[in-house]
């Protein structure tokens, strides 16, 4: 069954990420440019079920490119995980004359989109909006660069205190299953080490850190920790450090949701803008059930199944670079 795309729906789902508004703006204006109507769906899949749908014109997305968060709001939807909930969502789509969806979010968003597309033959294109940068098939996700810069700014400030008091700081960053934020922020901020979930199954990273004499030439240290249960998080590692190595004056900082907020960087604004236009191009090219990604600065199409199921590896060589530069 071939669809003629006359009207699209756009939603944001899952955790918010800086640059989502730039993506909403880009999708809206690219659609209108191509003669396609746009319906904004508030509060993600939950709003699709509760029919929180409003038509957007180009002026609806004026002056939002610089705003963090998402003007469309976001919410979790347990109802969308049920067949009945998805049926209601589809009926609302048809009642609002929506022919296709653009969804902005992470793996949970794309998992729901893949199932919905299969059940009701709906063309759906995904844009990767998550600060964790953990989606397979794209070098960067919308929001990752901004979050990285937010972390670096915070670590720079904490280092002033760490140096003044000769302390060891464990700083926890987001990245439940992925260490991209921890590893790259450690490199960019001059931290002594990064403890990431990808390496925890191979080596005791805390013991490795101490064994390598990470403070032999310094009176203070910064260790960036991914929030993962595998790493134990900053609090767990600090407790272990105090128990096993009481000679260290240990402190913990958990950056939390500060990493998700703020005005997006130039890179995230440009990335979101390019991906938004590419999403409309993909629909016009009769693509479906794909994520728009970027590889070597070129737009690529990644099937939902690969983006969701395949693990995105960290560059192990960066761990070596960090160890060399932290002496």
3-class SS of residue 65: coil
Residue pair 40/60 in contact (Cβ under 8 Å)? The answer is yes
Exposure on the CB side of residue 125, measured as CA atoms within 13 A:
27
Residue closest to 194 by CA, chosen among 315, 313, 319, 311? 319
| Full strand arrangement of the beta sheet holding 37-41 | 53-56, 37-41, 7-12, 100-105, 124-128, 290-295, 298-303
Contact 279, 293 (CB under 8 A): no
Antiparallel, parallel or unpaired: β 250-254 and 168-173? parallel
Closest CA to 276 of 4, 1, 18, 20: 20
**Cα–Cα distance, 226 to 47 (Å, whole number):** 32
Burial class (CB in 10 A: 0-12, 13-18, 19+), 86: buried
Specify whether the CB–CB gap between 149 and 27 falls below 8 A: no
Helices 266-284, 20-33: crossing angle, 10 deg rounding: 40
Q: Count the Cβ atoms, other than its own, within 10 Å of residue 162.
A: 22
**Residues with catalytic annotation?**
132
Chain centroid, CA 13 distance in Å: 11
Nearest 5°: CA angle at 217, between 216 and 220? 90
Pairing status of strand 250-254 against strand 100-105: unpaired
């Amino acid at each position: 069954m071939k669809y003629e795309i006359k009207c699209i729906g756009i939603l944001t789902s899952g955790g918010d990420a800086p640059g989502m508004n730039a993506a909403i703006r880009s999708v809206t204006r690219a659609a209108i440019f191509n003669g396609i109507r746009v319906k904004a769906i508030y509060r993600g899949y939950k709003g699709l079920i509760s029919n929180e749908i409003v038509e957007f014109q180009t002026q609806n997305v004026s002056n939002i490119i610089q705003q963090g968060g998402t003007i469309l709001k976001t919410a979790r939807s347990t109802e969308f995980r049920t067949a009945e909930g998805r049926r209601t969502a589809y009926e609302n789509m048809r009642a609002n004359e929506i022919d296709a969806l653009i969804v902005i979010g992470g793996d949970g968003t794309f998992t729901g989109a893949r199932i919905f597309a299969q059940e009701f033959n709906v063309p759906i294109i995904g844009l990767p909006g998550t600060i964790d940068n953990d989606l397979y098939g794209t070098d960067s996700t919308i929001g990752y660069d901004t979050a990285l810069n937010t972390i670096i700014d915070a670590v720079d400030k904490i280092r002033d205190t760490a140096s003044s008091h000769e302390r060891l700081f464990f700083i926890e960053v987001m990245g439940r299953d992925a260490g991209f934020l921890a590893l790259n922020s450690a490199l960019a901020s001059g931290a002594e080490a990064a403890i990431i979930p990808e390496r925890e199954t191979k080596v005791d990273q805390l013991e490795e850190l101490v064994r390598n004499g990470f403070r032999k030439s310094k009176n203070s240290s910064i260790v960036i920790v991914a929030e993962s249960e595998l790493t134990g998080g900053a609090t767990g590692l600090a407790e272990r450090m105090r128990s096993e190595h009481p000679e260290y004056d240990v402190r913990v900082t958990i950056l939390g949701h500060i990493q998700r907020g703020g005005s997006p960087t130039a890179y995230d604004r440009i990335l979101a803008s390019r991906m938004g236009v590419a999403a409309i191009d993909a629909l016009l090219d009769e693509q479906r059930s794909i994520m728009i990604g970027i590889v070597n600065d070129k737009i690529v199409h990644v099937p939902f199944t690969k983006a969701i199921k395949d693990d995105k590896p960290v560059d192990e060589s960066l761990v070596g670079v960090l160890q060399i530069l932290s002496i």
